[in-house]
Amino acid sequence: MARWTPDPTFYPSPRLAAKAPAETLAYVAAFAPKRDVPDAIAVVDVDPSSPTYSKIVGGVDMPQTGDELHHYGWNACSSCLCPNAPHPHTERRYLVVPGLRSSRIHIIDTKPNPKSPSIVRVIEPAEMIEATGYSRPHTVHCGPDGIYVSALGDAKGDAPGGVFLMDPESFDVLGRWEVERGPQRLAYDFWWHLGYDTVVTSEWGTPNTVENGLMPEILLGAQYGRRLHFWDLQKRKHLQEIDFGPDYQLVFELRPAHDPTKAYGFVNCVISLKDLSASIWTWYRDGDNWAVRKVIEIPAEPADPDLLPPVLKGFKAVPPLVSDIDLSMDDRFLYVACWGTGDLRQYDVSDPFNPKLTGKVRIGGIVSRASHPAASGPLSGGPQMVEISRDGRRVYFTNSLYGAVDPQFYPAGIDGWMVKLDVGPDGGIDFDQRFFVAWPESHRPHQVRLQGGDCSSDSYCYP
């Protein structure tokens, strides 16, 4: 007798997810910085035994130009196995791909031919704006009860930004998530502690203050995001705000512990106005409230002003510009992308309040322009979007941050690339010398999603 079983890529716990088969394909968002051709989702072969290893082997173009594909996610994940809102017979099949610039959302089917995905629905901006009042969709997370999407601003590109929900079967936009917003106005990333009924959100800026690049008067006036917000997940109400202070700007990527019994996570602050350093902070449960503690500080590096872009010449230094972080499935290693200096750092965060640096590679960088064993000559850009395999043994990353920001720090242009690191069982990282994807000149790569799930795609209800 036939049985209806859950998607085999769903795992009740991070421990079981870490035992999953290795990924063979990666999906990569690629945007066209000149907006003269459509953006695309590229498919990269990541199977070392394949004759097309480290090559783009397929993909799908968007139907229009100017989307700026940025962050995206799956329609469903392991949270479908949670007891509070189970959907065990949903498939991890569709990619939900927003255009950050266009406010258009593409639903992409990967099942019939994973190397040749197809667009099955396009949600136009008017539909999203009518249902939510939001524009510029940014981050997509599959939750136990639906698809959650953050948005940077309102229909006019101003505050507030926030979170909205989509139906996981029809992909209809349902409406705004927040019931009581409290003081929250700026938006960026969001994630949750399902076991603690808590949502966490971070901040960037409104579309009108970021779409043409970072605005010096806003940055130096400490008016970009510098706060974390904590919410009641079920009541959809704001509970607490933590202000990092005016020295800290661009509080970005949220990486909660995968183990649902652990009430902590990590967030990066891109830049300090005091000394151009970057920092990593741990948020944690402190009695009945949430608190944060700075646990890593990465200093700027002195540099010859003649080698710096105009925006940095007066500072005579290269800031790390930590623009992404990612946490391994076992909650042991945190990876930190320093887009400015070109470092990709690995920290042992077994003790989340006392990280230890266990590995570092350098590639690209504003001044260093470090190369790769499989590349010829200096490289532009630096480690940016980071993704980790479920077993923690492979780390992938790309080198473009955002279309309007790239030329501010790399005015000579960025040639896109994607690389892979191999991870030692007890830490340490090295380049896979066989894996270097030189991106077509028409596009730049951004977020990586691994077939079957990765370390930033799923959340779990069981330890």
410: nearest Cα among 400, 397, 422, 423: 400
CA–CA separation, 165 and 175 (whole Å)? 6
Average pLDDT (166-180) is 97
Full strand arrangement of the beta sheet holding 146-154 = 134-143, 146-154, 162-166, 173-176
Angle, vertex CA 373, rays to CA 369 and CA 376, nearest 5:
60
| Cα→Cα distances 156→129, 131, 160, 428, Å | 10, 15, 10, 46
SS3 216: helix
> Which pLDDT belongs to residue 398?
98
pLDDT band at 259 (very low <50, low <70, confident <90, very high): very high
> Which pLDDT belongs to residue 104?
98
Show me where the domains of the chain are located.
14-450
Tell me the per-residue pLDDT of 104-158, one tens digit each, with 9 for 90 and over. Answer: 999 999 999 999 999 999 999 999 999 999 999 999 999 999 999 999 999 999 9
Residue 141 burial class via C-beta count within 10 angstroms: exposed 0-12, middle 13-18, buried 19 and up? buried
pLDDT band at 1 (very low <50, low <70, confident <90, very high): low
With 80 as the cut, is the pLDDT of residue 438 above it? yes
460: nearest Cα among 265, 194, 141: 194
Average pLDDT (252-278) is 98
Tell me the per-residue pLDDT of 307-356, one tens digit each, with 9 for 90 and over. Answer: 999 999 999 999 999 999 999 999 999 999 999 999 999 999 999 999 99
> Are 70 and 62 contacting, i.e. CB atoms less than 8 angstroms apart?
no
Q: List the single range of 3-17, 21-35, 122-136, 287-301 with lowest mean pLDDT.
A: 3-17
With 90 as the cut, is the pLDDT of residue 89 above it? no
In this prediction, what percent of the chain has a pLDDT beyond 90? 97
Please tell us whether the domain made up of 14-450 is placed in CATH 3.30.470.20: no
In the numeric block, which tokens belong to residue 375?
A: 């590349």
